[in-house]
Amino acid sequence: MSMPSYPDISRVLYTAQEIEDRVKELAHAISQDFSGQDVVLIGVLRGSFVFLADLCRQISIPVAIDFVACSSYGASSVSGGNLSITKDVSGVVQGRSLILVEDIVDTGLTLRELKLFMESKQPHSVHIISLLDKPSRRKMEVTVDYIGFTIPDEFVVGYGLDYDERFRHLPYIGVLKPEVYNK
Ligand code: PRP
């Protein structure tokens, strides 16, 4: 299958095939590690929607699906504690094995706060899976239990990730040309 090319993308970091292969491995690990548990996959909107959709279809144990949405506010968000939940989970999470599903961990603020928020609901456990990890940008310590790919500090888009709400639909993960976001 030919890959759509976009003039704003400088290079492809992970092809659709590479992502598919890695997602299968992650789904296999989760299916083994959580066998027999009452699992809820919780997608963090909006960037995780593509990853979650592919991941859940490769998982071979029963899982429920839910979503949260949040936004960080103000410049002080980098110092932590300033995350507002704009959409809470819809279903019951108490006593269940929760897996927060993210597209990318950057500073770590979002997942650190979300994990604390979920833990306050008295689940059985809270784990984290992220397709991408950018450890060089970390400001908050957070344990990411499953990582798809560790990436350098570049502006990546596609497979759910956006720049100004564009590029989420690309089937691959690409590096955005600096002139696009430096305009
Ligand atoms: C992105 C990503 C994570 C967060 C990671 O979301 O999906 O939720 O940023 O960054 P952090 O580790 O520095 O907190 P974004 O706010 O861009 O929203 P989106 O998912 O709707 O694109």
Higher pLDDT, 81 or 44: 44
Binned at pLDDT 50, 70 and 90, residue 77 comes out as: very low
For the chain, how are helix, strand and coil distributed in percent, rounded to 5?
Answer: 30, 35, 40
Q: Which two three-digit tokens encode residue 149?
A: 């790919």
Cα 71 to ligand 1 centroid, rounded to whole Å? 8
Q: Which atom of ligand 1 is nearest to the CA of 110?
A: 14
Q: Quick one: pLDDT band at residue 76, thresholds 50, 70, 90?
A: very low
Return all residues near 174 (Cβ < 8 A) that are at least 6 apart: 6, 9, 10, 11, 12, 13, 156, 157, 158, 167
Q: Which residue has the least CA distance to atom 21 on ligand 1?
A: 46
Q: Is the pLDDT of residue 80 over 80?
A: no
Q: Which one of 102, 142, 170 would you pick to mutate in the ligand 1 pocket, going by the greatest count of ligand atoms within 8 A of its CB?
A: 102
User: Per this entry, what is the length of the chain?
Assistant: 183
Q: Residue 81: what pLDDT? A: 61
CA–CA separation, 71 and 92 (whole Å): 22
For residue 82, name the pLDDT band (cuts at 50, 70, 90).
confident
**Average pLDDT score over the chain:** 93
CA of residue 110 relative to chain centroid, distance:
10
Is residue 104 in contact with ligand 1, taking CB distance under 6 Å?
Answer: yes
Instruction: Decide whether any atom of ligand 1 lies within 6 Å of the 132 Cβ.
Output: no
Across 46-144, the runs of DSSP E, i.e. the strands, are: 63-72, 83-87, 97-105, 125-133
CB atoms within 10 A of CB 108: 21
pLDDT at 100: 98
Ligand 1 centroid distance, CA of 75 (Å)? 15
Spatial separation of the C-alpha atoms in residues 113 and 85, rounded to whole Å: 10
Within 8 A by CB and 6+ apart from 5, the residues are none
Annotation marks residue 21 as catalytic: no
Ligand 1, atom 6, lies closest to the CA of 47
pLDDT digits (tens, 9 = 90+) for 90-134: 999 999 999 999 999 999 999 999 999 999 999 999 999 999 999
* Cis status, amide bond into 22, omega within 30 of 0: no
Annotated catalytic residue, options 8, 21, 103, 106 = 106
**What is the CA(102)–ligand 1 centre distance, in A?**
8
Residue 2's pLDDT is what?
A: 52
Query: Which residue among 51, 87, 101, 104 is best mutated to probe the pocket of ligand 1, counting the most ligand atoms within 8 A of its Cβ?
Result: 104
Pick from 72-76, 79-83, 84-88, 123-127: least confident: 72-76
Ligand 1 touching residue 37 (CB < 6 A): no
